[in-house]
Structure 1
């Protein structure tokens, strides 16, 4: 951790590229406060909506608007929780595995199996876009959810994650922090929980399989949901400042992906440390939230990755014409060495979802298969 802090300090001493993406040089105060993020978010939204000219099935009338968790009405948040709980009661679709018991679990199996190919690779952003959208579709088609799909803007909680409307343990949250366990997190200092979620939604949820370190990760291994909420991680790696500067300092898709994930193969990305992707995950931490392979078994995974996709949506729509591209190889960190990914590659997520080529996943209002924007 000390090394990463020193690296961040060193990098920030260099010349700033902020505003590169949109040709605007925002005052640092506006970047730190989130004012700049609101501005570029609105610009991106307007750009996407302008493409809804009636030429596709996605229209201004039927486009879904994803919203930040705390902006969604209370009853709608409660309905979302009930839909997730419903998905935890629908049958698993994978055969010949003993651990997964539900459709919710099936998403965990899928993520476990594709992790070596969809992280720090050409496929990271578009795979997770389809993955989260497929989860939303199951909530709607299997469990009757009709509200907005929520994302979590981490930076709004950088002053105290335990107080977040997402984790405050109220009936309109996704449950509480884990019980305090002394020395619960030696790798990431600052966690305030570590034990089982104590109250609110998902306090009684059973994690059925994992962790990745188990001899058979897909075997049945029932246990409670643990969280170790970490404000220090959130403030350092997932602040409004980090989110905004990651978008503004990324002129191409290769660097955007690197900045988003803290990919040390790119010198310019090294200052981000865990970056917003790791920062959001480790802000939740715990078991399975801190497990690289099985983090989708944490219900808040989908709000975290909704924010990642929101960042991608904003970044794309700030220069739409030039940002329909892909970069990188098809294995994590190019290990083992592999070919470059292409937009014509096929993404098949059966039996959980469908089959598409990556080109179909570039446009959230392209109607194939998406029709959503971010507010």
Structure 2
């Protein structure tokens, strides 16, 4: 119930010409087919590369990384990414004072648990997760020699049959398969008016079938204590179709013109009329499409390997939305606590995120642009 409640409650030179695509009316068939999203993504990419062409920073057209959807990566690149994650699960943790943290992969669970009450349905939701995914990619590089680029997962491409998703089909080029079938499933599909998932038990097929989850769940007496168990998944195509489809993704981008509403619609924030009707919305929809343990745990979900590609898609949406009207989309909205509970002041661009010991403190204004600050990437 906790995850459900939290999710549900939860300038450049004028001489540069930018393409504008947001706000135009689109045929529903073009939205549902992915044509509109593809066009918006291409426009955002072109606009970002145009900005990069006149940038005086260290990020250039020559060294910028291009993040791609999982199925567009060559098989060898998918395997290299997966092996780097497996390597991270063998490296010692930086959070040595947390009894349940046994690996460098576990560090990201510790970090997420600490920040969760402040970086969801708040002013720093998007920037936190942008810096978080970047930090994960850096650790893959620095600790495990990863040479590739962080991928993302477009949920809507797999809503017809999640068990056949190239991300979760159990092949060597996937992140492992679904959990074993548990009668009735383990996902909260019924709570949201969706069908039950198709798994629910331990992952037995493919990569990460031998992975041990070391911490959680959040409902445990001491959630950060050592609690070894198998990775469980409960893939759910119906949740994907209802809340993480191509239509859902596209309409968040096309139907919002300010950051406050954009992030509200991403999260199904019930405080806004337009987002209150979205239920899980794409953020919760993507999480619960994977489900299981720890994927269905609001606090410990980063201990699910698919988390990083899911939030890569959230960041990709943010990148596209920003770069459709860059001059007006470099700000934040909301307070510094989740759903403003307890009530707090409004967040500002000068607020900071301190990821020590994994990464240094950064102001939110430093995390606005994927081709500036600590970043140097775009989305294909």
Q: Distance in 1 between matches of 2:336 and 2:50?
A: 33
Q: Distance in 2 between matches of 1:85 and 1:96?
A: 23
Q: Deviations over 1:223-261 (max 9, x none)?
A: 000000000000000000000001111110000010000
2:274 is equivalent to residue 273 of structure 1: no
Q: Distance in 2 between matches of 1:29 and 1:239?
A: 13
Any unmatched runs of 5+ in structure 1? 5-19
Aligned to 1:236: 242
- Check the 8 A contact 2:266/2:281 in 1, yes or no: yes
Aligned to 1:133: 134
Q: Distance in 2 between matches of 1:54 and 1:265?
A: 38
Aligned to 1:167: 168
Q: Deviations over 1:136-167 (max 9, x none)?
A: 01111111111121100000001011100000
Q: Distance in 2 between matches of 1:149 and 1:173?
A: 15
- Check the 8 A contact 2:23/2:254 in 1, yes or no: no
Query: What is the aligned counterpart of 1:346 among 346, 352, 361?
Result: 352
- Check the 8 A contact 1:80/1:145 in 2, yes or no: yes
Q: Deviations over 1:194-225 (max 9, x none)?
A: 00001110000000010000000000000000
Deviation at 1:54, TM superposition (A): 4.6
Indicate the SS of the match to 1:360.
helix
2:43 is equivalent to residue 38 of structure 1: no
Q: How does 1:137-152 map to 2 (within 5 A)?
A: 137-152=138-153
Where does structure 1 differ by over 3 angstroms across 4 or more consecutive aligned residues? none
Q: Distance in 2 between matches of 1:259 and 1:373?
A: 23
Give the paired residue count: 356
- Check the 8 A contact 1:328/1:340 in 2, yes or no: yes
Identify the range of structure 1 (97-106 vs 48-57) with the bigger mean alpha-carbon deviation. 48-57
Aligned to 1:76: 77
Aligned to 1:330: 336
Q: Distance in 1 between matches of 2:137 and 2:154?
A: 18
Q: Deviations over 1:336-359 (max 9, x none)?
A: 000000001111111122211000
Aligned to 1:200: 206
Q: Distance in 2 between matches of 1:96 and 1:76?
A: 35
When normalised by structure 2's length, the TM-score is 0.92
Aligned to 1:221: 227
- Check the 8 A contact 1:151/1:307 in 2, yes or no: yes
Q: Distance in 2 between matches of 1:322 and 1:167?
A: 38
Deviation at 1:95, TM superposition (A): 2.9
Q: Distance in 2 between matches of 1:267 and 1:128?
A: 25
Aligned to 2:376: 371
Query: What is the aligned counterpart of 1:314 among 308, 315, 320?
Result: 320
Indicate the SS of the match to 2:378.
strand
Indicate the SS of the match to 1:179.
strand
Q: How does 1:109-128 map to 2 (within 5 A)?
A: 109-128=110-129
Deviation at 1:25, TM superposition (A): 1.2
When normalised by structure 1's length, the TM-score is 0.93
- Check the 8 A contact 1:21/1:247 in 2, yes or no: no
2:185 is equivalent to residue 184 of structure 1: yes
- Check the 8 A contact 1:110/1:352 in 2, yes or no: no
Deviation at 1:186, TM superposition (A): 6.0
Q: Distance in 2 between matches of 1:23 and 1:329?
A: 27
Q: Deviations over 1:114-153 (max 9, x none)?
A: 1000000001000000000000011111111111211000
Q: Distance in 1 between matches of 2:59 and 2:184?
A: 50
Q: Distance in 1 between matches of 2:187 and 2:361?
A: 41
CA RMSD of aligned residues (A): 1.2
Q: Distance in 1 between matches of 2:109 and 2:367?
A: 21
Deviation at 1:21, TM superposition (A): 6.9
Indicate the SS of the match to 1:103.
coil
Aligned to 1:156: 157
Deviation at 1:299, TM superposition (A): 0.3
